[in-house]
């Protein structure tokens, strides 16, 4: 251990050199300094483990020196020798990180004990540091393996507990980026191709637009991104993948999710798209994909798609004009043949998935639908096929269509009853929760119940308010908070409009009736 002793009195420095058995204390080098300025110069040239300093010296005190050491060389331990018993000095020394504050005259044996204590502490810290370095070495070896295993388990949906996921992320040394999370799947066209872990590592080193990647099997790489990549970025990534694995690839982007516990849904969506795109022999052109995403997500296309899904779910007869309108919109977009295939395929995929969720199509039926679709060799035949598919779904429940409408109305009423306390409850939020358009819900609800959704909500709110007024002593402003109104005035207006009485009048009448009954 190397020790620096600082004192402005030569007799003290010489005495300490002679009185203390420094070799016995495992001191390999002892250096004396006559003031703090000299001590700082020595520290800048040479590293020490322990500094023993007097408290009272010119220009800089021992405590100020200790603060300097703590700031610039925090690993060095400090012992202060002082002639002052004032507690304020000792407290200031402790705040400066001093190991020992010893009063003069110092007994040599006591100073030896203090140095031994410092030695033990230094050795202990060195051991901890060595262990930490060893742990870092082990982590650098095992963390990539833990990370790879973690992503595979997470993407397959085998781990979904948030605490478990957080612990695994910490152990694997994974740093999650801010933003949403999504999967980009690249699969080799040649089933004889072999993608290795080294390929994955090399691609990730060169391409940093994604935050991690994992080889899910010998044909497929999953890239994990915190944002949806642009067409140019995907083109660059595709080029990098193909040049690394020496094979052409196809790729898809799964839906992006806002929670890591849902990341497996992005992977599942990507897998389904990959399987479907293979089935319809789609183009793997990045430009096609980028342009098509914008087209299919346009307001007109999405509205028509939602209408077709509504037709399939609630109507008894296909509305051919909606299918025609869909194809007309696609025609106006001047799509390439591959884009046309993908656009039709996505529509077909959404319609079939909706039927599968309602358990109206088995897995076998699902495959048969695909096979029939693949046999259609023209746009016109594929259009007729989609019309027939929607009509077949309608025919399955044609005799029970009234019950389907009843179910929609019942679901809407239940949602309104569960959420009427929410000031933000609107026809839009109700329709969104039921996966139908606002116009369709408004139309069938009014036709079946004789009132609009808003009128229904208002009636339910007033019924609940009447119950509060008749059975509790709640103030009007408290009732307002419970039934979803923003202020007492608006509540009073609505209450009188429906009941013909103000809330106060209604409460008094109920109280009078209760008195008469008693």
Residue 8: CB atoms within 10 Å: 16
Phi, psi of 222 (to 5 degrees): -110, 120
For residue range 136-183, list pLDDT tens digits in order: 777 677 888 888 899 999 998 899 889 999 988 888 888 888 888 999
For residue range 123-145, list pLDDT tens digits in order: 888 888 888 778 777 767 788 88
Contacts of residue 515, Cβ cutoff 8 Å, sequence gap at least 6:
none
Domains of the chain: 2-126 (3.40.50.2300), 146-269 (3.30.70.100), 295-396 (no CATH), 400-518 (1.10.10.60)
Residue 83: CB atoms within 10 Å: 11
Contact assessment for residue 304 and residue 369, using Cβ atoms and an 8 Å cutoff: no
For residue range 43-87, list pLDDT tens digits in order: 999 999 999 999 888 788 888 999 999 999 999 999 999 887 777
- pLDDT at 399 exceeding the cut of 50: no
Classify strands 77-82 and 100-103 as parallel, antiparallel or unpaired.
parallel
The whole-number pLDDT of residue 312 equals 64
Confidence band of 287 (pLDDT split at 50, 70, 90): very low
> How far is residue 179's CA from residue 177's CA, in Å, rounded to a whole number?
7
pTM: 0.41
Arithmetic mean of pLDDT, 384-400: 63
The whole-number pLDDT of residue 363 equals 44
Confidence band of 327 (pLDDT split at 50, 70, 90): confident
CA-to-CA separations, 404 to 195, 296, 322, 391, 448, in angstroms, rounded: 49, 29, 21, 16, 12
Confidence band of 294 (pLDDT split at 50, 70, 90): low
For residue range 414-461, list pLDDT tens digits in order: 888 888 888 888 899 998 888 888 888 899 899 888 999 999 999 888
Arithmetic mean of pLDDT, 94-99: 87
Arithmetic mean of pLDDT, 227-240: 82
Give kind and range of the element (H or E) at residue 41: helix 36-45
The whole-number pLDDT of residue 290 equals 45
The whole-number pLDDT of residue 313 equals 64
The whole-number pLDDT of residue 45 equals 92
The whole-number pLDDT of residue 355 equals 62
Contacts of residue 383, Cβ cutoff 8 Å, sequence gap at least 6:
323, 324, 327
Q: Which ranges constitute the DSSP H helices of 173-248?
A: 197-206, 231-245
Contact assessment for residue 311 and residue 361, using Cβ atoms and an 8 Å cutoff: no
- pLDDT at 310 exceeding the cut of 80: no
The whole-number pLDDT of residue 86 equals 74
Compare 482 and 316 and report the one with higher pLDDT: 482
> How far is residue 170's CA from residue 349's CA, in Å, rounded to a whole number?
38
Compare 511 and 287 and report the one with higher pLDDT: 511
């Amino acid at each position: 251990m190397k020790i620096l002793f600082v004192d402005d009195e030569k007799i003290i420095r010489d005495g300490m050199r002679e009185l203390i058995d420094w070799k016995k204390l495992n001191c390999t080098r002892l250096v004396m300094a006559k003031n703090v300025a000299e001590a700082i110069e020595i520290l800048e040239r040479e590293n020490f483990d322990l500094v023993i300093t007097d408290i009272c010296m010119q220009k800089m005190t021992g405590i100020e020196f200790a603060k300097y050491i703590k700031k610039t060389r925090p690993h060095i331990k400090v012992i202060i020798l002082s002639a002052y018993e004032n507690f304020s000095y000792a407290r200031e020394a402790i705040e400066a990180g001093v190991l020992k504050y010893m009063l003069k005259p110092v007994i040599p044996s006591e100073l030896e004990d203090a140095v031994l204590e410092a030695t033990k502490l230094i050795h202990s810290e060195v051991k901890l540091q060595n262990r930490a370095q060893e742990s870092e070495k082990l982590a650098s070896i095992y963390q990539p393996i833990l990370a790879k295993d973690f992503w595979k388990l997470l993407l397959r949906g085998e781990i979904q507990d948030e605490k478990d996921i957080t612990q695994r992320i910490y152990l694997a040394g994974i740093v999650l980026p801010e933003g949403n999370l999504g999967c980009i799947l690249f699969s080799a066209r040649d089933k004889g191709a072999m993608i290795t872990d080294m390929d994955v590592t090399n691609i990730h080193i060169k391409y940093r637009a994604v935050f991690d990647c994992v080889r899910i099997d010998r044909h497929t790489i999953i890239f994990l991104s915190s944002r949806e990549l642009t067409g140019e970025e995907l083109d660059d990534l595709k080029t990098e993948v193909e040049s690394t694995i020496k094979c052409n690839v196809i790729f898809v982007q799964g839906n992006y999710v806002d929670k890591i516990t849902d990341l497996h849904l992005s992977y599942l969506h990507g897998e389904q798209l990959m399987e479907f795109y293979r089935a319809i022999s789609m183009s793997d052109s990045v430009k096609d994909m980028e342009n098509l995403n914008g087209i299919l997500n346009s307001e007109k296309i999405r509205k028509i798609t939602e209408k077709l899904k509504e037709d399939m779910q609630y109507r008894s007869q296909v509305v051919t004009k909606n299918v025609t309108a869909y194809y007309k919109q696609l025609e106006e977009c001047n799509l390439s043949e591959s884009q046309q295939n993908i656009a039709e395929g996505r529509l077909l995929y959404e319609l079939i998935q909706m039927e599968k969720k309602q358990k109206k199509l088995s897995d076998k039926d699902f495959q048969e639908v695909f096979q029939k679709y693949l046999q259609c060799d023209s746009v016109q035949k594929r259009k007729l096929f989609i019309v027939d598919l929607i009509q077949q779904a309608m025919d399955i429940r044609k005799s029970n269509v009234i019950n389907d409408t009843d179910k929609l109305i019942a679901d809407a009423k239940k949602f309104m009853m569960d959420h009427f306390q929410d000031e933000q409850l609107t026809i839009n939020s109700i329709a969104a929760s039921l996966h139908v358009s606002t116009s369709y819900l408004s139309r069938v609800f009014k036709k079946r119940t004789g009132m609009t959704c808003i009128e229904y909500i208002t009636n339910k709110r007033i019924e609940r308010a009447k119950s509060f007024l008749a059975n509790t002593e709640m103030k009007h402003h408290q009732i307002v908070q419970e039934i979803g109104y923003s202020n007492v005035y608006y509540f009073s207006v609505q209450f009188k409009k429906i009941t013909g009485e103000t809330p106060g009048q209604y409460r008094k009448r109920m109280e009078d009736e209760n008195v008469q009954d008693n």
